[in-house]
Structure 1
Amino acid sequence: MRLNFHHAALIVQDYETSKAFYCDVLGLRILAENYREDRASWKLDLALADGGQLELFSFPNPPARPSRPEACGLRHLAFRVQDFDDVISQLEAQGVEVEPVRIDPYTQARFTFFKDPDGLPLELYESP
């Protein structure tokens, strides 16, 4: 069996705020945007550089999902980047708070975390 990543789906609290963050701050390209009237829900498909996708969904009054400390479920989304320092600088220039850089003790690669508008932890992982 050979599995490849296709997409991750996120339910967001404020659709327009999250759309702006993922498109304008992270620079993801819109593949499709659809309003699903029967669900009062937006679905936004965003392209990652490696062919993967993020799907953003809005729903009326979604319940909060615990994320810390170490709640069961999705821990974080990680983005592999080659221009690590440049990406951090671009995020900080747009007002995104980025945690101090750490070193992976197993690979020696640098990584750091930041959050999306709903507080979902996002990771930058340096690609050699």
Structure 2
Amino acid sequence: MLEGIHHAAIICSDYRVSKHFYAGILGLEIIAENYRQARDSYKLDLRLPDGSQIELFSFPDRPPRPSYPEALGLRHLAFRVGNVEQSVAQLASAGVEVEPIRVDEYTGKKFTFFTDPDGLPLELYEI
């Protein structure tokens, strides 16, 4: 029935900062950018190399979202990378703080975490 994940939707607090982070720093391709005047909201469609997408939204009066490491709901968004060390170096050169690289005890694969400008937890997972 399911064939893959089409997109993940993210609501940001500062559209320009988040657009720069996801498109400029992480290098996601901009597919479409729309300002929805009736909602005073931007919607930015971004594509990863495998075709999956992120929809980046801005809303003027969004409620804060609590973020705890083990809170109920979506825990984090993980990106596949070919080389974690290389990806960490790229993020660090852009001023993004990244946690130390760890090894998955079950798969033996390397991974690490960082956050977007709003503190959303993101993961790099080496394939």
Q: TM-score, normalized by length of structure 2?
A: 0.97
Runs of 4+ aligned structure 1 residues displaced above 3 Å come to none
The aligned counterpart of 1:51 is: 51
The C-alpha deviation readout for 1:58-77, integer Å capped at 9, x for no partner, is: 00021110111411111100
RMSD: 0.9
The aligned counterpart of 2:74 is: 74
Residues 1:114 and 2:114 are matched in the alignment: yes
Question: How far apart, in 1, do the equivalents of 2:84 and 2:104 lie?
Answer: 14
Which consecutive unaligned segments of at least 5 residues does structure 1 have?
A: none
Question: How far apart, in 1, do the equivalents of 2:81 and 2:13 lie?
Answer: 27
> Aligned AA for 1:30?
I
Q: How many residues align?
A: 127
Residues 1:97 and 2:97 are matched in the alignment: yes
The C-alpha deviation readout for 1:9-51, integer Å capped at 9, x for no partner, is: 0000000000000011101110000011111100000011110
Q: TM-score, normalized by length of structure 1?
A: 0.96
Question: How far apart, in 1, do the equivalents of 2:16 and 2:91 lie?
Answer: 19
> Aligned AA for 1:19?
K
The aligned counterpart of 1:25 is: 25
Question: How far apart, in 2, do the equivalents of 1:43 and 1:37 lie?
Answer: 11
Question: How far apart, in 1, do the equivalents of 2:28 and 2:100 lie?
Answer: 24
Query: Bigger CA drift: 109-118 or 62-71?
Result: 62-71
> Aligned AA for 1:71?
A
CA contact (8 A) 1:13 1:61 kept: no
Question: How far apart, in 2, do the equivalents of 1:77 and 1:59 lie?
Answer: 21
Residues 1:87 and 2:87 are matched in the alignment: yes
The C-alpha deviation readout for 1:61-97, integer Å capped at 9, x for no partner, is: 2111011141111110000000221111000011100
